[in-house]
Amino acid sequence: MQKVKNIRCECPCGKTKFYLKKPPFVRFYCHCEICQKLYNSAYNDVVVIKSKNVVLKQNGVQFNKYRRPPALDRGICEQCKKPVAGFFRSIPGLGLAFINADNIQDKSLLTPPLGHIFYHRKKEYIGDELPKFKGYWRSQIKVCHWIMIKLLIS
Ligand SMILES: [Zn+2]
Ligand SMILES: [Zn+2]
């Protein structure tokens, strides 16, 4: 992969700016109710990166913890109230960040999505070729699986 320097990101209103030191290594579409509510859309285009590669100043960002799925600290911009980045810290030694791909300014730097999860919650039928996973646990396990495989081969 090409060496990319500091991928620029911002929240929808542009007030909260941050950057990534590396390209995210997993990308998928999430159809869960939390994403639908937070993003006010049928599904969310999500990228995953190690949290140590996310450079985000905490001022101007509020952190709200939603009980599921999973225990994610979701950073919300104080101005537009939209998600900035979510941090998952439940696995010791492996901090992960989940970011809405729309917050990344140059989406051409992203890898293609691997599939759709929480598809049983879909509000829109998706006609693409990507695999679709239904069910809470199957969706959770699939994301863990994608992350573990990419971490092992990287
Ligand atoms: Zn904002
Ligand atoms: Zn979701």
Q: For position 125, which CATH number holds?
A: 3.90.1590.10
Structural domains of the chain, count: 1
**Confidence (pLDDT) at 3:** 60
CA of 26 to the centre of ligand 2 (A): 14
65 lies in some domain: yes
Q: What does the pLDDT look like over 46-56, one tens digit per residue? A: 999 999 999 99
2 lies in some domain: no
CA distances from 78 to 10, 33, 127, 143, 146 (A): 13, 22, 36, 29, 32
Q: What does the pLDDT look like over 5-19, one tens digit per residue? A: 799 999 999 999 999
Q: Which ligand is nearest to the CA of 42?
A: 2
5 lies in some domain: no
Range of the domain at 96: 10-102+109-153
Q: Which of 140, 101, 145, 148 is nearest to 120 (CA)?
A: 140
> Dihedral of CA 141/109/23/77: which sign?
negative
Q: How far apart are the C-alpha atoms of 61 and 1, rounded to whole Å?
A: 32
Residue 20's identity, in one-letter code, is L
CA of 55 to the centre of ligand 1 (A): 16
45 lies in some domain: yes
Q: pTM, whole model, 2 decimals?
A: 0.90
